[in-house]
Amino acid sequence: MFNKDEVRTRFAPSPTGYMHVGNLRTALYAYLIAKSKGGKFILRIEDTDQERYVEGAVDIIYKTLKDTGLIWDEGPDIGGPVGPYIQSQRRDIYKKYAEELVERGGAYYCFCTKERLEEMRRIHEASGMPNKYDGHCRHLSKEEVNELLAKGVPYVIRQKIPETGETTFHDEVFGDITAPNETLDDNILIKTDGLPTYNFANVIDDHLMGITHVVRGIEYLSSTPKYNLLYEAFGWEIPTYIHCPPVMKDATQKLSKRNGDASYEDLINKGYLTEAVLNYIALLGWSPGGEREIYTLPEMVKVFDISGISKSPAIFDNNKLDWINGEYIRAMSLEKFHEIALPWIKKGVKSETDTKLIAEVLQPRCVKLSDIPEQLDFIDKLPDYSADLYVSKKMKTNYQNSLSSLKEAKAVLEKLTDWTRDNIHEALFGLAASLQVKNGIVLWPVRVALSGKQFTPGGAVEIAVMLGRDESLSRIDKGIELLKKVQ
């Protein structure tokens, strides 16, 4: 079996599509709790809701967890002492425990038809009452139940909630929470198809798999009293609960898969790095304390503590993610950045060019990889641009001095036989010195002529190297002709 003294957490996603940011955060916190205490992280697939099952979704779960480094110790693909780890393969287990719960008096058979339940729902709705099962089958005698079962009448098994009193549970984030039992519904444990509901299966599985810490979203907080009652009815030890506040799009809207909000795959496709995404998601509702915000996964394991999880909803801040992503990019070696940036560079540049130089120029300024193609679109072809770009109050350039600078720059650059970065730098900066003007008077118009853009990933020198001698001189000629027209 398993070591009963070790911390055991689980990530139990439903295979319904992409890995949403909130789901990944749940997996991360469960992983960090286990690993920070030397415990085990278990992966379980909760696929009892077959109508929502999406083909290929399990593979997405595997890939996302592997990409982010959240490697499980037990799971469907590698096995373990308490498998199977896919709920649909545990069907007989749930039925057995549901029947045991009936014998213990904690559950009962319900034979109500869909029509009766629908009529009850309409009555509750019309009267403004919450739709709660009325306990119609709750007090059937054993003989009546057996007779209906023998006739093959369809049934579900419902939890028998105490009609009086209250249920209190403790959550590590929200403290002690009490719910009057009369407000709780006799929810279904086993459906007519013999499969369990989430509310039942997760309790059975968590117990049988020895889960000590249950990490999940705050939306399950209201159902936890029912889970506690199930644990108590079986005489089982109740796990430690950690309910996490939601990740919000803004102050009023939750991030939602249905609304097309960020999944892990979306963020990677937008050019964010896996390490940066994981780092940012960790900070969505958890604080390590202090000013530091950049943490690798092993560093998170060392500092993670449940007490750092906030009660307040976390707002997904793209600007903060951009900053963290930029920090990871700048911390890379040039070789590594060149490697990951190369596919994006090739999207922006089709012609032969020095991609290593482009990466070197991009790295100090790059926020996310998907910004790269647009920044390089001038290399293959000079865009049409307005002469107004040559006018800069900051650089104190205007049509007249820009035209003069371009003519002078062309003259010194034409003399270069060895078109290197150092030689171009010396020629242009030397020109500014000889003209006794600020560097920007020369460099700004040259950069505009070479790129046709107001903002570029590098300066005039780097762009000239990227374009090569002939293309650079040709573009400076075009800049001169454009400025002559506005004189």
As a whole number of angstroms, the distance between CA 98 and CA 89 comes to 16
User: CA distances (Å), 346 to each of 24, 68, 273, 325, 359, in order?
Assistant: 31, 26, 18, 21, 11
Question: CA-CA distance, 136 to 157, in Å (whole number)?
Answer: 13
Please list, residue by residue across 274-311, b when 16 or more beta carbons sit within 10 angstroms of its beta carbon and e when fewer do.
bbbbbbbbbbbbbebeeeeeebebeebbeebebeebee
Q: Contact at 8 Å (CB) between 279 and 324?
A: yes
For residue 334, the tally of other CB atoms under 10 A from its CB is: 12
**Pairing state of beta strands 314-315 and 40-43?**
unpaired
- Residue 213 assigned to a binding site: no
* Structural contact between residues 10 and 211, judged by C-beta atoms closer than 8 angstroms: yes
Q: Is 136 annotated as a binding residue?
A: no
Sheet holding 8-11, edge to edge: 40-43, 8-11, 213-217, 240-244, 166-171, 175-180
Residue 244 annotated as lining a ligand binding site: no
Distances (CA, A) of 436 to 135, 331, 424, 483: 93, 38, 18, 22
Known catalytic residues are 257
| DSSP-based three-state secondary structure for 299 | helix
Residues in Cβ contact with 417 at an 8 Å cutoff, skipping those fewer than 6 apart:
none
Nearest alpha-carbon partner for 188 in 146, 145, 238, 137: 137
Any binding-site annotation on 484? Answer: no
The answer to whether 478 is annotated as binding is: no
What Rg do the C-alpha atoms of the chain give, in angstroms? Answer: 32
Matching residue, tokens 């906030």: 310
Q: What is the DSSP letter of 315?
A: E
Return d(Cα 89, Cα 93) in angstroms, integer. 9
Residue set of the binding site for Zn(2+): 110, 112, 137, 139
Residue set of the binding site for ATP: 257
Residue set of the binding site: 110, 112, 137, 139, 257
